[in-house]
Amino acid sequence: MTTATVSHVVGEKHIDTATRSLKVFNPATGQAIRQVPMADLDFLNDAVSIAAEAQKQWRETGIAKRSRVFFELASIIRRDQEELARIISEENGKTLPDAAGEIARGLENVEFCAGALNHLKGEHLEQASGGIDVTQLKQPLGVVACITPFNFPAMVPLWMVSTAIAAGNAVILKPSEKVPSSAVWLAEAFHKAGLPAGILNIVHGDKEVVTGILEHPDIKAVSFVGSTPIAKHVYTTAAAHGKRVQALGGAKNHMVVMPDADLDGAADAAISAAFGAAGQRCMAVSVLVAVGDVADPLLEKIQDRMTGLTLGDGAREGTDVGPLITAEARDRAHRILGSAADEGATIVVDGRPAAEGMDGFFIGPSLVDNVRPGMQVYDEEIFGPVLSVVRVDSFDAAVSLINASRFANGVALFTRDGRSARQFQLEIEVGMVGINVPIPVPIGAFSFGGWKDSLFGDTHMYGPESFNFYTRRKVVTTRWPLPSESQIELGFPTN
């Protein structure tokens, strides 16, 4: 049987020719379901040239007309979201409800970008000096590149691409080769919504294409989401080639539970945030910090709830936890979980036996107690359904533990005490904070991004900061003097 090929999309044309290709797997079955062509540098160069030519006309397109594309795009995605959710589930492994939630969060940014008339307004100052006016404009960069991860095949592209296009740029989107079909679906939806050919181009590839993007002189900015080592490489390489960069890296998100917290609510939140999407979220809770004597009763409640979770194919109704993305990811989670006991931690729930005999890349939800910094299970980003428990004596100890981490993407505090909550949000050195909210992903009107090794670059993703990232400022100073006012003045101009 011939395996279907996922095409590139360049200038609205679907192209599937390539000298080499990779297999795309359904992680729930372990079977290859498609193949995706790998572009080479010549293909990338052609795509950038087409994008650059198309962008000249797109930047001249009225902003009201650009906005209409996004209103129509939102309508198309909302109408056909079940189809997109099935594609996400098949290639990523997440459950259909989780895929639907991803699409909904991506739609937030599409709707935000429909307000481009407001987001792209500049500033004007009349009479800055006698007879002189000053105007600041927001102008597009040109061609930008978006390199997106496997864990959110629709949401992250919609976060990046929508803003870049609304701001007047053309985009080269390089999706994860593990989940390529969602990006092609989105490109088709953009074109149905009225986006001109060449403004959104899908170029599949691996390291060769990524390096080409980072070094290409006509690509002016790069947005990236992935692991911290790769994010750092993307940032340093692209910046060295004169590009604007936002590179979001890994995470080790902590959830602090105070003795006064609602333990049933905290247990529900820990289960949802640690094991949703099989732990493959950069905002997943992977470390539970139990303060004081709360640990034993809280762990008992979490363990009781874990017995009701169903492991299986995300496309099947009733599944709670799907597979990991690859066999390598599964084996890595196995290895780190196995190291926990060797290093002195206690494996309370071992998810490895739950997956025995299953096809696909599964590991069951796992719970590890008595974890400490320095253990692999604490230090490494596992990106799997493994929840570590660290016991501390006080609020101050919890804050110190979190602030010592090199990751600083998201954090949560569960408490009934407003003073503790206020102190926590004041002192904690993390980019996104939840108070009784386990996954504090901001709504579309704000921006997403962590601190420390979770973000390289100084601009967060989507929302207002993203419009700043995808535009550059031009300041125009204007004077209309009378001929009689002209004179030679060699001194530096003042007001």
* 282 in catalytic set: yes
Rounded distance, CA 277 to CA 267, Å? Answer: 17
Pick the catalytic residue from 282, 336, 375, 392: 282
Burial grade of 234 (CB within 10 A; 0-12, 13-18, 19 or more): buried
One-letter amino acid for residue 481 of the chain: P
The values of phi and psi at residue 440, to 5°, are: -80, 60
**Residue 160 half-sphere exposure toward CB, CA atoms < 13 A:** 30
Q: What is the CA radius of gyration of the chain?
A: 25
- DSSP per-residue string spanning 301-366: HHHHHHTT--BS-TTSTT--B---SSHHHHHHHHHHHHHHHHTT-EEEE--TGGGTT-SSS----E
Q: Which helix (H) or strand (E) holds 249?
A: none
> What does DSSP assign to residue 279?
G
Identity of residue 262 = D
Q: Could you give the CA distance from residue 259 to residue 291 in angstroms, rounded to a whole number? A: 6
* Tokens 């996922």 -> residue: 6
Phi/psi of residue 454, nearest 5 degrees: -95, -10
The two tokens of residue 327 are 């066999």
Q: How far apart are CA 97 and CA 103, in angstroms?
A: 10
CA distances from 139 to 463, 467, 470 (A): 17, 10, 9
One DSSP character per residue, 212-227 reads: HHHH-TTEEEEEEES-
Q: Give the strands of the sheet with 13-15, arranged side by side.
A: 13-15, 8-10, 200-202, 170-174, 143-147, 219-225, 244-248, 455-456
Torsion on CA atoms 401, 406, 411, 416, rounded to nearest 10:
20
CA 409 remoteness from chain centre = 11
Q: Which active-site residues does the annotation give?
A: 282
